[in-house]
Structure 1
Amino acid sequence: MTEPGGSSTTEPTIGRGLVLLLAVTCGVLVANLYYAQPLLDTIARSFGIEEGTAGILVTTAQIGYAIGLAFLVPLGDLIERRRLIVTAALICAVADGIAVVSPGFPMLAAALVLAGVGASAAMVIVPLASALAAEEDRGRTVGTVMSGLLTGILLARTVSGLLSELGGWRLVYGVAAVAIALLAVVLRKYVPVSTPVVTDTYRGILGSILTLVRELRELRLRMALGALLMAAFSVLWTGLAFLLAAPPFSYGDAVIGLFGIAGVAGALMAPIAGRMTDKGHGRRATTLCLSILLASWALLFLGSGSSALWAVVVLIVGIMALDLGTQGAHISNQNVVFVLDPPARNRLNTAYMVSYFGGGVLGSVAASVSYSVGGWAVLCLTGAAISLAALAIWLLGRSASSGSVVRSDHVHG
């Protein structure tokens, strides 16, 4: 059996408590990318800047996360993972602390870039959980950890808005700094130490990511699917605020934020896909989840024309279906990606997640453009088209990619 980082050990072991700790840590870390979204107007007034300028903060955090994905996450195959995770988490905590005392906008923006880099430790945690889990429980374990990550994404806006109401926007980052620092201490105590066997240089590790992408057809297929999944997810969550703020809903920010709870409910069902993978039904789970994703857009459209209770219920069910389909297929993807080359789990995750979040950026742009062109109806058509493309790519590519499993040693480093 391969321990995280590649060392040999008799048996993997990851109890429920450790799974929960890793899930919570992922959620708290990744939430840093989204805290600023409901605070932009408040921050703009605090520093006397335009709202459009304040909007840069969301992008800066995502830029930092992308930097971390590209340059920090691959280190998980080269150095001891617990130390890497704890160090990155402390970097994130320090960055949040800097945000609290930032005297001006430039320092705040720089702090959020650094926080995004530290938050990318979440993508070291996911392959760590996969490596620690027994083979028959790997899908369930990864599904649970990823559900924690998605819950953090969806609840970040709600928590941020509530804390800001209580004590201003600086309180949000102060609480985040303390929470992450405490988690780092707990991780240091309970996460097992790993002993990497990869002996390549850091530069060689980075270069081998391109080799993995070039040589593993299954990885390329899952990267394409991941990009389309996150694009569909971003189309919904970027456009939903536009829909709910306008008639016939005319909801305020607090009510709009509560719709994130519907997404969490769908996300918490996603480990079902992990269990299906554990039982040898991973391909069936992916097909089912992609089909649910496509069907969700019909519900989202039907629930958008009225503020009546039935319409709101339909809209909420559509949100739950979309998040279930997106995260279920995402978890199935990761379970496949992590076994393509076990000693290269972090590099495989880097390739997959860069594609995944790249799709999210494109989805956000597509949502803004489609909504401005034709409102919610065109946005739903855009989301449905993306989802249909994902299903088509999967159905066309799955048979050709069968049999792609473990890599030969020469790309391990």
Structure 2
Amino acid sequence: MKLSRKDILLMAFCTGLIVANIYYCQPLVILVAKEYGLTESYAGRITYLTQAGYAIGLFLLVPLGDMFERRKQILVITGLAIASLLMAAFSHTFLVLEIACVLIGASSIVPQLILPMAANLSSDESRGHTIGIIMSGLLVGILGSRAISGSIGFLWGWRAMFGIAAGLCFLLLLLMASRFPQSKPTFKGTYRELMSSMFNYIKTQPVLREASLINFLAFATLSAFWTTMVLFLANPPFNFQSLQIGLFGIAGAAGALAAPLVGKLSDGKEPRKNLLIGLLLQLASIAAFYFTGSHLYLFVVGIILIDIGQQAIHVTNQTRIYALIPEARNRLNTVFMSVSFVGASFGSAMGLWLWDKGQWPIYCLGSVLVIAINILIYRLYARKIFNYA
């Protein structure tokens, strides 16, 4: 079966709405802190616990896509996501909410099953473009989730957002059950052999190592921003509420429009050059954030730059690893995305730590250091210093 444009758009739609589950909590941190009587930075733990749960789900569940029929796996895991979201909506202690957030993250890995499915059904010439379109859906989901969450939280409270998300996932479950194609497993061994093979790919595939390491730091940079910006905007001189904070996610959605273009460029002969462009865009974004002061137009410019930069890095790296071993795309994607979201969780924790140390200026300086390390890694791999099998 070959994917039609309608199939690709459907996959992008489902990917965006499911990945949004991971990010609904970010604009709600202020409301959660007020309800449980916590400091804003402590309540912010739910952001990196959700991302840590996502990394756990990626590592333990996504490889099964090479071992079992993907459509059935997608439906079962979406069902678990519905249960986890309802647990968060009805949680009555912060500890229960923390546990629910870990489970929400772990059960929101469906996009990383959809992407390999789409890659397998795409031709070599169109694979990058297909991934780019689906990544646009994913990025719109990530960024739009913040605007939606901030608005819902402001109008009806933070619990309502998790309840609405559970309802959306139920509707998606019905849609995917009726429209998604079935797939044939490519791995015939045991689960232990499946997991062992991933470590062998880490050892033997330098492109996978490079892509994962660069993505780790790029996701850390992005996640540190989206976690810390909530505290930045909620404090003087802005004193914004969750509704206003969430609306800044719309500015980041502009970056999602770059994904199909980046995907096309990644189908070319030298996709790696897009990585440096993405890193430099991230660096420029931090400069805009540092000099924002009370001028929010610079802040909005920074949001657009950081998300376009992230798109350039992520889509390019994902296209590169999918070209390595076609029959092992789920396992390669598992390594790549697990490392990426460990980076995201690290970035959220780092952003909160930097905020406590010196608020916005120290966050900006710490982010510049992370990007500088990433550029150094890019250069070292270009010189093939780390490029051994």
TM-score for the superposition, normalised by structure 1 = 0.86
Q: Distance in 1 between matches of 2:278 and 2:322?
A: 19
Q: Which residue of 2 aligns with 1:367?
A: 351
2:260 corresponds to which of 271, 275, 290: 271
Question: Structure 1's 58 and 318: CA in aligned 2 closer, same or farther, altered over 3 A?
Answer: closer
AA partner of residue 66 (structure 1)? A
On the 8 A contact 1:287/1:391 being kept in 2, the answer is yes
Q: Deviations over 1:335-357 (max 9, x none)?
A: 01112111111111111111111
Q: Does 1:342 align with 2:326?
A: yes
1:16-35 correspondence runs (5 A) = 16-35=5-24
Q: Taking every aligned residue pair, what percent have the same amino acid on both sides?
A: 37
On the 8 A contact 1:272/1:328 being kept in 2, the answer is no
On the 8 A contact 2:146/2:247 being kept in 1, the answer is no
On the 8 A contact 2:206/2:387 being kept in 1, the answer is no
Q: Which residue of 1 aligns with 2:378?
A: 394
Question: Structure 1's 112 and 297: CA in aligned 2 closer, same or farther, altered over 3 A?
Answer: closer
Question: Structure 1's 171 and 364: CA in aligned 2 closer, same or farther, altered over 3 A?
Answer: closer
On the 8 A contact 1:74/1:350 being kept in 2, the answer is yes
Q: Deviations over 1:87-132 (max 9, x none)?
A: 1112112322344444555554444333322211221112222222
Q: Which residue of 2 aligns with 1:7?
A: none
Moved more, 183-192 or 161-170: 161-170
Q: Deviations over 1:4-57 (max 9, x none)?
A: xxxxxxxx62222222222222222222222233334545666x5645775554
Question: Cα distance, 1:221 vs. partner?
Answer: 0.8
1:159 corresponds to which of 148, 153, 156: 148
Question: Structure 1's 191 and 401: CA in aligned 2 closer, same or farther, altered over 3 A?
Answer: farther
2:341 corresponds to which of 352, 357, 371: 357
Kindly indicate whether structure 1 or structure 2 has the higher relative contact order, using CA contacts under 8 Å at least 6 residues apart: 2
Q: Provide the alpha-carbon RMSD of the alignment.
A: 2.6
Question: Structure 1's 175 and 282: CA in aligned 2 closer, same or farther, altered over 3 A?
Answer: same
Q: Distance in 2 between matches of 1:107 and 1:373?
A: 28
1:261-340 correspondence runs (5 A) = 261-302=250-291, 304-305=292-293, 307=294, 311-340=295-324
Question: Structure 1's 160 and 361: CA in aligned 2 closer, same or farther, altered over 3 A?
Answer: same
TM-score for the superposition, normalised by structure 2 = 0.90
AA partner of residue 315 (structure 2)? I
AA partner of residue 124 (structure 1)? L
Q: Distance in 1 between matches of 2:128 and 2:67?
A: 24
On the 8 A contact 1:271/1:328 being kept in 2, the answer is no
On the 8 A contact 1:32/1:61 being kept in 2, the answer is no
Moved more, 371-380 or 133-142: 371-380
Q: Distance in 1 between matches of 2:356 and 2:309?
A: 26
- For this pair of structures, how many residues does the alignment match? 388
- 2:3 counterpart SS class: coil
Unpaired runs of at least 5, structure 2: none
- 2:2 counterpart SS class: coil
On the 8 A contact 1:142/1:331 being kept in 2, the answer is yes
